[in-house]
Structure 1
Amino acid sequence: MRSTNNRGHQKKNGRLKLIGLILLFVFVLAGATFYAISLAQENNEEADQIEQPAGDDNQQTDETDPESTETDGTDQADSEEHDEEEPEEEQFTDIRISAVGDVMGHTSQLEAAYDAETGEYDFTSVFEDVQPIISESDLAIANLETTLAGSDRPFIGYPLFNTPDAIIDALDYAGFDTIITTNNHSLDTGPEGVRRTVEVIEEKGLDLAGTFAEEPESRVLYKEVEGIKVAILAYTEHLNGLDASYPQDEVLSMINVISEERILADIEEAESEDVDLMIAYMHWGGEYERYPNEFQENYAELMTREGVDIIFGSHPHVIQQATYLEVDGNESIVAYSLGNFVSNQRRETLGEEREPTEDGVIFHVNVQKNEQTGETTVQQVEYTPTWVYRNRYEGDSTYTYRILPVERILETDEFTDVDRQRMQRSLDETTTRLELTD
């Protein structure tokens, strides 16, 4: 039998085994923990290595493409600009105004226009050479220095004019749209002649200024020319004394006669109509006078001061100077006399020492309106010198009349040396007279 001393030894060995197991467990746990920590660190490092190249690429992009940031800024600026309203581009309207002087109807002119076979009158051939020039204008004005009293009385020239209605057809053909009817011959066939002249022109579709069939509401002609509102005022200095034969009230109701009171009232009315441009056509001055007189100059200054932009003149039958005026801050262009556009007056009959009554001019004024500001200004002044050709060809009983644009005709060899010399002299004279002055 064994003895109690053997059981005590077994307990000591058990404790040693337990301690060993505990140490082993701690060691294993520590190793596992260390391994887990190491693995986590490796995973974090790999994640960093994966994310870092993307960051490097972005950095490289910023370095290699510096415009990327600028483009973003530009796009933003463009967006802001589009958000703001862009300034409106200025727009302009341009028109060309042309005016001529006296359209006469002397007896020899009537004979030249008459066709004995048909019994009709035709004046169109007189205007064929200038028709391309006139028709290019947006507003074309001529002074009709005769009356249209009809065939109930004789067709006749000087001193009391009565012309066939066909003259209006010819002016229409030439390109004129506005006829001035107030001049010293307006009463040549009496009040009835005044009325019929107005009626014929209106029936043929043209506008007129200066005379009226009856008392008008307005004595100013208003026209819309390519969107530009134009006022045309027309007056005559006198009526050859014929007004004394009729009641003064009747005469003044039918015909615009120059007076400061009348002109100022018409200008005031035109301004109240918010016109863009004011034109005055004045029948004034001394016949065959080379220079404007004091009467013309005083009224030109008056109208300029009151706001008239363009002043055309007729009656002297010869070309007078053109000039720019400035009065109290207002400016105008004044052509004191445009001469004869067509007539039978010429040096061959009046005398070589006389002023050149066969010389004329188509006076052009180019006007521009700023559609944004509403401002209308004269941009350019030009002119086309003209000369009235008259010739009786062999076998003809009447003359042939043609209004010639001198510069163009001189480039041809159509006419005789004598005619060409006359045309050259006419051109030189006209150029000298129309040399614009301030």
Structure 2
Amino acid sequence: MKEIKKLLVVFVAAVFFIGLFVLCDKYSENVKADYASQINPSIVNQGSSGTGNNDKASGDAGSLSVEHMVQNMANKDYSASIDLAAAGDILCQQSVLEKAYDSENESFDFSNDFQYVKDLFQKSDYAVATLKTTLAGQYNGHSDEYYGYSTEDGRYNSPEVLADNLKSVGISLVNIATNHALDSDAEGLVSTIGYLDQAGLAHVGAAATADGSTDYTQNIDGVNIGFIGYTNSTNDLELASDAACVLNTLNNYDEQSVEILCTRISAMKAETDLVVVMLNFGSVESDSIEDDQKALAEKLCQAGADLILGTGSRVMKPVQKISVTDEAGGSTRNCLVLYGMGALLSGETYASSEKDTDISAVVDFSIVRNNFGETSIQSFTVTPVYLNWYNDKIQPIPVCEAKDTDKYAEMLDDDDVDRINSAYDGMITHLLDGSGLTSTYENYAYNVSLQ
């Protein structure tokens, strides 16, 4: 009888523990499902390209248990913060080439052009801009009217040293998908990529071969950021059907091309913390947000873009914060869109166009990832820039510092002072117009919170 009772106790205990195991297993699956959206792939992978090395309990990644993942996440600090600086177009019109030319050495040097803004790039963790010219090599452009380089008919081919100069002043990546990407034909696009590679300057928007990558992913102090470059048009120039190189273009808002871009954004979003789309679009002369631009931006934000850096207009356009709701989980996130960043370097003047083509900005975005893997832009700082002509140089200078100090006094004539006074408050007012965002002024710049 005693043995039967012992067997009964053992049986009941066994049933109890089996039932408890089943419940725990079911609960763990529910936890996994409930929190799957909060487990960022780049946190699990911790790789510079969104793939990288995975933490494993044993064997391959598939054997990593939910419990082990949760334990790892609880014990490790995944928070991070970085600053991403961005500038607009870099154009090399004839006046820019002339002032960068050293007749004594018969060479070009553009590094002095960025003398007064390079600190804005170098103090950030990463800096990007848009290269709106080709680097096809001397005598390889549309014409060779200026020491073997070209600005004729608005088709640009600039000295290849420009790539080294941009790298030396702190710019790490450029978008080469612009309306001027084919100014020196397919061969010029391939050469451009080659000179950028030689300089160690990362690039997006085009590839030298059909199987090359036109995107770029960079791990910046623990935050994986994906960059995608596109242009809406190419000034009616097209790649030949047998061209080996690739250029990302939307073909004037072609629906199929837009869908391809959205798919690429979604795929990159799944592998990174933040997606930046560098997009050359909109009318050259417009200083306002166009309907086609807005409609496209909303689609790209819904697809997963977190930041859209728009270029193409010669003047700055307003910024917009777009709120996107995840259809599956119902969560909400913000996407920031700069529809036009103007030109950091060009031969444009206010007198020649009666538009603010001489005003742009360097924008520094504060990007934060919390311990749950959620990454967002918390704020951004706008440093207005005036394109100043002085002696034999064309140099962008910080507007607010020029207004509030005498650092640049000897470089400025009365017309320059008028332009700086106009941009001092006017640029930030125009930039934030209709956005609902406000700014505070500090350290010669305007700080804008997105919280």
What interval of TM-score do these two structures reach, taking the shorter chain for normalisation? 0.7 to 0.9
Is 2:256 the counterpart of 1:262? no
* Aligned equivalent of 2:357: 357
Q: Which of 402, 423, 426 is residue 423 of structure 2 equivalent to?
A: 426
Following the alignment from structure 2 to structure 1, what is the Cα–Cα distance between the partners of residues 188 and 214?
19
Q: 1:248, CA displacement in angstroms?
A: 4.3
Aligned-pair distance for 1:173? 2.0
Asked whether the 8 Å contact 1:135–1:174 carries over to 2, the reply is: yes
By how many angstroms is 1:427 displaced? 2.5
Between the two proteins, what is the percent identity of the paired residues?
Answer: 25
> What is the aligned length?
339
Equivalent residue runs for 1:148-187 within 5 Å: 148-153=135-140, 154=144, 155-158=149-152, 159-187=154-182
Where does residue 401 of structure 1 map in the other structure? 394
Q: Does 1:142 align with 2:129?
A: yes
Give SS of 2:382's match. strand
Instruction: Provide the secondary structure at the position in 1 that maps to 2:360.
Output: strand
Runs of 4+ in 1 over 6 A off after TM superposition: none
Contact 2:321 2:335 in 1 (8 A): yes
2:80 is matched with: 93
Which amino acid in structure 1 is aligned with residue 202 of structure 2?
D
Correspondent of 1:232 among 221, 224, 227: 227
Code of the aligned partner of 1:313: G
1:317 aligns with 2:304: no
CA gap 1:225/1:423 in 2 versus in 1, 3 angstroms: same
Aligned to 1:285: 282
Aligned match of 1:387:
386
* Per-residue deviation, 1:226: 0.9
C-alpha contact 1:320 1:433 (8 A) present in aligned 2: yes
Give unmatched runs, 5+ long, in structure 1.
1-86, 394-398
Residue 295 of structure 1: how far off its partner (Å): 1.3
1:197 aligns with 2:195: no
What TM-score comes out, normalization by structure 1 length? Answer: 0.74
Partners of 1:214 and 1:304 lie apart in 2 by 29
Whether the 8 Å CA contact 1:307–1:330 is kept in 2: the answer is: no
Q: Do structure 1's residue 366 and structure 2's residue 359 form an aligned pair?
A: no
Partner of 2:304: 307
The amino acid of 2:304's aligned partner reads G
Q: Which secondary structure state, in structure 2, belongs to the residue aligned with residue 308 of structure 1?
A: coil
The one-letter code of the counterpart of 1:376 is T
Aligned letter for 2:294? E
- 3-state secondary structure, aligned to 1:362: strand
Tell me, in whole angstroms, the C-alpha distance in 1 between the residues paired with 2:339 and 2:431: 10
Cα distance in structure 1, aligned partners of 2:172 and 2:221: 14
Q: Which residue of 2 aligns with 1:18?
A: none
- Letter paired with 1:107: Q
Cα displacement string for residues 131-181 of structure 1 (whole angstroms, at most 9, x for unaligned residues) = 111111112111010000101332122511000012112211221000110
> Paired residue for 1:294?
291
Q: Distance in 2 between matches of 1:216 and 1:348?
A: 46
Separation (CA, whole Å) in 2 of partners of 1:293 and 1:101: 18
TM-score by length of 2: 0.72
- Tell me how far 1:385 sits from its aligned partner: 0.3
CA distance in structure 1 between the partners assigned to 2:262 and 2:416 by the alignment = 46
Find the residue that maps to 2:182 and give its secondary structure. Answer: coil
Counterpart code for 2:323: E
- Partners in 1 of 2:98 and 2:86 — Cα distance? 26
Distance 2:432 2:265 in 1: 29
